[in-house]
Structure 1
Amino acid sequence: MAAAKKTTKLGNALNKAKEEPKPLKVVEEEHKQEQPEDNRYPIPPSRQGKRTIAAHFDPAVAIQLKRLAAENETTVQALLGEALNLLFEKYGEKPIA
């Protein structure tokens, strides 16, 4: 008598992949259900309704920006907001940062 084949996790995944694909709406609903009810990483009130803007610069830029913030007793974020407002004004936009 032949021994029964042992199914591995990879085998299960491959068998599942062969099945009929689910409609996108069903997949989205399943994904929503997987999210935990409790928010492990709550968004601080100061960041609610805000978006992150990021860019990559030479490390010397970060050092100089932090030094300027310390010398002027302000934050890097405040300096970046000031810089963005100057940029917006230069191009005829409202300073909203």
Structure 2
Amino acid sequence: MTKKTAGNSLQAMLDRASSAEEGPVAAATPSGMAGARPRGRDRAATETAGGKQIKPSRVGTKMIGGHFPPEISMQLRMIAAEEDTTVQALLAEAIADLLTKKAGRKIAR
């Protein structure tokens, strides 16, 4: 049985979640996939009390982001490849240098 909800996408998600709890799980998963081990990004994820999955390496951290021209992204990826590191490590180094320069603070890397 499918309910039609007008407007609110959050309500639609809640309705789908409640109907998934009532209905059989096999209908929602491809055949042969029930009970399969997670792959890729989900493999190392841990679940919090709210049901949200977080990688162990991201526990206790906060996302910082920005929008930049594609050329900046390309240059960062090239430097990361040349130095056999990650873009995140390069950004952490740049932020640490900025904080040292502007605020006189040393941060752990």
Q: TM-score, normalised to structure 2's length?
A: 0.51
Runs of 4+ off more than 4 Å: none
> How has the CA–CA distance of structure 1 residues 38 and 55 changed in structure 2, closer, same or farther, with 3 Å as cutoff?
closer
Alpha-carbon distance, 1:49 to partner: 1.2
Aligned pairs, number: 65
TM-score normalised per structure 1: 0.57
Gaps of 5+ in 1: 1-8, 11-33
Give 2:106's aligned amino acid.
K
Give the 5 Å matches for 1:1-97: 39=51, 41-91=52-102, 92-97=104-109
Which structure has greater helix proportion? 1
Q: Residue 86 of structure 1 contacts residue 95 of structure 1 at CA under 8 Å; is this kept in 2?
A: no
Q: Quick one: percent identity of the two aligned structures?
A: 43
Q: Can you give the 5+ residue segments of structure 2 that lack an aligned partner in the other structure?
A: 7-16, 18-48
User: Which structure is richer in relative contact order (CA contacts within 8 A, separation 6 or more)?
Assistant: 1
